[in-house]
Each structure stands twice: as C-alpha cells, then as structure tokens.
Amino acid sequence: MLNIKRAIVLVWQSASGWTVIHVILTTIQSILPLALLYIIKLIVDNIAISLKIADKTQIFDHILFLLFNAGLVMLLINFNAVISELASTTLSERVTDHLQVILFKKAIEIDLESYESPLHQDILERAKWEAPHRPSRMLNNLTSAIASSISLLAIAGLLISLHWGLLGVLLFASIPTMAIRIRQSKVLYKWHRHQTEVERKANYYGHLLLGNHPAKEIRLFNLGNLFIERFYNIRQQLFQQKLAITKRQASTRLLAQGCTGIAILATYGFIIHQTIYGKFQLGDLVLYSQTFQRGQGALKDLISNLAGLHENNLFLADLFEFLALKPNLIESAHPKLVPRPMQQGIEFKNVSFRYQNSPRQAIKQVNLTIAPGEIIALVGENGSGKTTLVKLLCCLYDVTQGSITIDGINLRQFSTTDLRRQIGVIFQDYTRYQLTVADNIWLGNIDLPLTSEKFTQAARQSGADAVIQSLPQGYETLLGTWFKGGEELSGGQWQKIALARAFLRDAQLVVLDEPTSAMDAKAEAEVFEKFRDLMRDRSALLITHRLSTVKMADRIYVIHQGEIVENGTHDQLMALQGTYAHLFETQARNYQ
C-alpha cells in the first residue's frame, strides 16, 4: 500500500489537474452504461405492453421518447470516451516526463562508484524500465477499480432484487481467477528481477552493434555476426524461460475460467427459467441477463485492475529502490567556502582508497602536496592510480583512510558544488558532446553568458581557435555525427576543444589527465610552450605518459601500484637513477 500511495503522490505532482479530470471521467464512464441499460429495459417492457393493446400511439410516443434519451446517453458515452482517452494520454505523458526528470536528478546525485557496481547497475536498469509507465498504470488501475466498484454496487442491487444467490455466484466464480492473477504477478516479477543482468548483457551487445564508437572495430575485426549471434542466444534463452512461465500460467487460467464459465451458464439458465414461467417480464429478462453480463465484465475489470495494482506495486518497488539509494559522500550540513585564493594549498595525508567491489587497495598511504601556483606532475604506469587520485580530489569518490585538505580544511567540509567549481578537469576519456562548438566550450563554465569573450580566449589558449575558424559556422558549428549537419573532428581537434572547456573554468586548480594524447608532436609542443603562461596564478596537476612534457613541472610524483615511490624535480629524479629515470631513458631511446 505504501508504494501505491507514493505512486499516486508522484502522479499528482506530475499533473494534478489532469489527474482530477481523469478520475471524474472514468467514474462517469462507469455509470452511463447502467443508465443506458435501464432505458433499454423500459423500451422492451413498453414493446411487450404494446403487443397486448389495440391503441399503440401513446405507447409508441413513449418509446420514441425513451429512444431519444437512449441516444443522448450513447452520445454522452462516446463523447466521454474520447475526452477520457485525451485525458489519459496527456496524463501518461506528463507522468512519464516528470518521472524521467526525477530519475535523472537521482542519477546525478548518487556517487560515481554506483555506476561501477553491477548491483547498482541492475537497480538502475530496473528503474529505467519501470519509471516511465508504472505510476500512470497504477493510477489507471486504481481509478478503473473504483469505477468498476461503483458499477458493481449498482449491479449488486439489481441482482439481489432478483435473487441474492446470483450475486453470490458472481463473486464466488471470481475468487480462483483473482488468486491466480496475484500469484502469477509475483512469479513474473521474481523472474524479471532475477534476469536483470542477463537483460543488460543482451542490451550491451545491442549497444555495441548500434553504437558509433564500436562501429570501426566491429567492421575491422568482423565482429558483427558474432555479436548478433550472442545477442540472439541470450534473447532466445530469455524467450524460452518466459514462454515456459506463460504456458504454466495459461493452463492454470484456463482451468479457472472453465469453472467460472459453468457457474455463469447455470445462472443464465436460472434467469431464462424464471422468464419462461412468467416470473419475469421480457424487459426483466433483458435487464437481468445484461446486468449479469455487465456484472461479469465489471468484476473481471475489477479483478484485472486489482491484480494490475498488485503487479505494478511489485515492479514499482524497483523505482523506489533506486530513488532510495544514498550517496556515500555526505554533504556537510554547514559547508565552508573553499578558500579563494588558497594560501597553503592542497595536501593528501596518508590517503588510501579501495573500490567497493575489490579487495585490493587502489591507493595506499599517499602523501602529496600542491602549493598555490605550483605545477605538479603525476607519472606512472597504466592502472597505477593516477586518475583515481584526481577523482578523490574532485570528491567523485570518498577516501577510505586519511584525508585531503585545502588550507588545512578537510574536503568533506566543503560543498561539493563549490569545490568542483574551483577545479578545471579534462580526463583522458573526456566527453565529446554532440552540440555546437560554443556549447562544448561553455559547458566548462555555465555561469558565463554564451556571448562572453572568454570563449575565444580559452580557445586560443588550447589551440582550438584555428580549428574553429576553419569550421563552416565557426562557434555555431554542430559537432559530431549524431545529428544532421554535424561536423566530425579528429581526435586531436576534439582534445583541443576539451582543453578549452577546462581553461574556460575560473578555477584555482587545473587538472589535465593525458591532455595531449591525441595531438601530434607539433600541437603538443605548442600547448606546453605556453603552459606556464596559461596557469599564471593557478595550480596545475598534470598526468601524462609523455615524460618529455613533465620536465617543466615544479615537482614530479612517481606512483606505482597505488603508492608514491619517488618525488622531486626532473633533475633530482634523474640523478636518483630510480623508476622515473628508467622510464625517461626508455622513452628517450625510442625517439632516437
């Protein structure tokens, strides 16, 4: 019942006016057919009377009046049906859009780590399936159940006036169907929940086959038919399992409906018997047989809607399970402002970190400082923990042990929004937004107006300006190939756009994770030639495998398997003849 209440609240928040209209129209729609049925009963009774009298004029006039009223009721039924469909469709769209927004807000609220957990991925996937339609379905079930109940109350009164046993037969015949529907809902829900990861795997192959990024390798390595076969095999496995469940459910329902049919036929026999032996008039036969038939329909609808409520209640639990996820990073109740400008700088104190699904420590007892205006370089092999340190600094993850401070204040005491505003980051796997050039850069600092001159300044600093000038509409050129008229860029050109996005941010710290990996040597040299000028009063954290670019750094930290093993200037580390010197000399020999 709690989920039903929460679903109704969500629907009400989505479109309260349309919800009221929908409920009223559904209720009216349940009453009008009964009024029409009663008018038809009166028409039949008058026809039966007319057969027994000579002067039929008055009776015929009365029948015409009843026909006119029947026509009005039919017109109202049709008009109400059209308006009900409009209200239902509109309400469903509003609810879907509202819930998608709620889902998106929750998705950006939870920790980055949740996206790296298979368990949380299953929860998110189920929420995506159920959010768009379950609450509106639940409201439809509820309003239809209320409408069916109203119809049943009126029908019950008529049937009791005939014989109380008819109502008993009608209700008793529905019990097996009701029990079966509820049990089948539970079976289906458990199966869907159990198969979430398998469904995700099938969807993953679909993503590979339809996505533009995997398209090159799929063709070069001839992977298409392999992935199609794997997708089909998974879908076949799911199909066979669901077919087996459906067959069992169908046979059970068939048995229950057979028993119900026998009881209903016996009831019709009783009504016909009473009419033949003169206890009912012809109009009563029409009225009671139609009433019983409509009672069947109303009870069937009621059972269907109650079972639907139960089923939607089960599946809606998946949405609320996702909405109940809590971030591990708890915002301070009274956050402090990040010092601006920093006086002492940033310090990692004995920082350790372990991913949720791994027993291995990704970061081990790291001590590292970044002074105001200082350029720091992180060097190490792939998987050594360099990017993880950046994510900890940006509060995308929370440290397992130790602390990270700015001017001696723990990061946890700052608002994450304020903290991230002070950090401009470009990750190695930066996003290529299928938007205009201006949007791609502006997303680095959405507080600026789109007409700001800082756009061109950031583009010049990153080397993107020359690329932009060559595009058909300059800054208004649509990038990427997803939408009509988009221009695709090379990897190096995209990287310059991403760098401009990082430089646009008015941040005290700029973090560049492999910022020139897709650039040629000339473009890379141009960026780093003016790097110190670009930083000016900013601090910088540079991650790169190209050791020729880190010589300019004030200090270099060498990280190996999550630990800082060396630190110092380029000259100091070369003199040490340790890990850094070995890596540098190895790279240098490759260029000779």
- The Cα–Cα gap between 314 and 575 comes to 67
Q: Which of 383, 380, 406, 381 is nearest to 393 (CA)?
A: 406
Q: How many CB atoms lie within 10 A of CB 39?
A: 19
Say which CATH number the domain at 212 has.
1.20.1560.10
**313/346 same-domain check:** no
401-406 and 409-410 strand pairing: antiparallel
Q: Which token pair is 431?
A: 């996003």
- What number is the average pLDDT over the span 479-486? 84
- The Cα–Cα gap between 319 and 134 comes to 9
**121/156 same-domain check:** yes
**94/153 same-domain check:** yes
End-to-end CA separation in angstroms for the chain = 74
> In this predicted model, which residue has the larger pLDDT, 20 or 287?
20
Q: What is the pLDDT of residue 261?
A: 65
Q: What is the pLDDT of residue 527?
A: 65
> In this predicted model, which residue has the larger pLDDT, 384 or 264?
384
- Tell me the pLDDT tens digit for each residue of 225-240: 888 888 888 888 888 8
Residue range of the domain that includes 128: 2-323
Q: Which of 306, 296, 292, 294 is nearest to 257 (CA)?
A: 296
Q: What is the pLDDT of residue 180?
A: 72
- The Cα–Cα gap between 108 and 532 comes to 34
Q: Which of 88, 78, 80 is nearest to 141 (CA)?
A: 88
**Average pLDDT value for the chain:** 77
Q: What is the pLDDT of residue 260?
A: 64
SS3 424: strand
Minimum mean pLDDT range among 217-231, 254-268, 349-363, 463-477: 254-268
Count of domains observed in the chain:
2
Could you tell me if residue 454 is inside a domain? no
**384/278 same-domain check:** no
Could you tell me if residue 373 is inside a domain? yes
Output the pTM of the full model: 0.68
401-406 and 563-568 strand pairing: unpaired
Could you tell me if residue 513 is inside a domain? no
Minimum mean pLDDT range among 86-100, 112-126, 168-182, 529-543: 168-182
> In this predicted model, which residue has the larger pLDDT, 515 or 64?
64
**110/184 same-domain check:** yes
Q: What is the pLDDT of residue 455?
A: 82
Please return the burial class of 485, using the count of CB atoms within 10 Å of its CB with bins 0-12, 13-18 and 19+: exposed
Q: What is the pLDDT of residue 334?
A: 83
**102/177 same-domain check:** yes
- Tell me the pLDDT tens digit for each residue of 66-122: 888 888 888 888 888 888 888 877 877 787 788 778 888 887 777 777 777 777 777
- Tell me the pLDDT tens digit for each residue of 440-461: 888 888 888 877 788 888 888 8
Between the ranges 78-92, 134-148, 312-326, 553-567, where is the mean pLDDT highest? 553-567
Residues 6+ apart with CB under 8 A from 544: 377, 379, 512, 514, 515, 516, 517, 550
399: number of CA atoms within 13 Å, CB side? 23
Q: Which of 201, 135, 153 is nearest to 27 (CA)?
A: 153
**Domain end (from 301, 323, 345):** 323
**152/175 same-domain check:** yes
**Domain end (from 292, 323, 354):** 323
**343/317 same-domain check:** no
Contact of 178 with 253, CB cutoff 8 Å: no
**Phi-psi label, residue 536: left if phi above 0, alpha if psi -120 to 50, beta otherwise:** left
SS3 377: strand
Q: In the predicted model, is pLDDT for residue 285 greater than 70?
A: no
Say which CATH number the domain at 409 has.
3.40.50.300
Q: What is the pLDDT of residue 95?
A: 79
- What number is the average pLDDT over the span 242-255? 74
Q: Which token pair is 545?
A: 């495998």
- What number is the average pLDDT over the span 12-28? 80
The kind and range of the H/E element at 543 are strand 539-543
**Domain end (from 291, 323, 355):** 323
